Amino acid sequence: MSENCIFCKIVAGTIPVKRVYEDEVVLAFPDIAPQAPVHVLVIPKRHMASLAALTEADRGEMGHWLERLSHVARLLGVDEAGYRTIINTNAHGGQEVFHLHGHILGGRPMGPMVAR
């Protein structure tokens, strides 16, 4: 747990969210400002600042995280039509919350990959 990390507070239950999926390693919950009909965040419970902070030691946990992200997309019913997965990293990536998270966006065609 990292002090003053909003997603660590969500993991701890200090900030209540709808827990879409949870196990010992990951937690999924709706984005507070949805950008699509379906917009859910999937995070590792352990504080990791960003994708840029990963090391070889994180391979097992990150494999679990990605497989569960796929599972959550199935739970949400967006897997067949498809969805966009976004991981924003640091300043140029537009990262706002510095606790690693993957966005699942779906429920409509998501359009071009990046703004032109």
User: What are the beta bridge partners of residue 85?
Assistant: 104
Count CA atoms within 13 Å of residue 78 on its CB side: 22
Q: How far is the CB of 95 from ligand AMP (least distance, A)?
A: 4
Q: How far is the CB of 104 from ligand AMP (least distance, A)?
A: 11
d(CA 57, CA 88): 21
Number of residues that bind ligand AMP (CB under 6 A): 12
Does 31 help bind ligand AMP (rule: CB under 6 A)?
A: yes
Judged by CB under 6 A, the residue of 15, 52, 53, 81 near ligand AMP is 15
Is the separation of the CB atoms in 46 and 54 below 8 Å? no
CB nearer to ligand AMP: pick between 41 and 56: 41
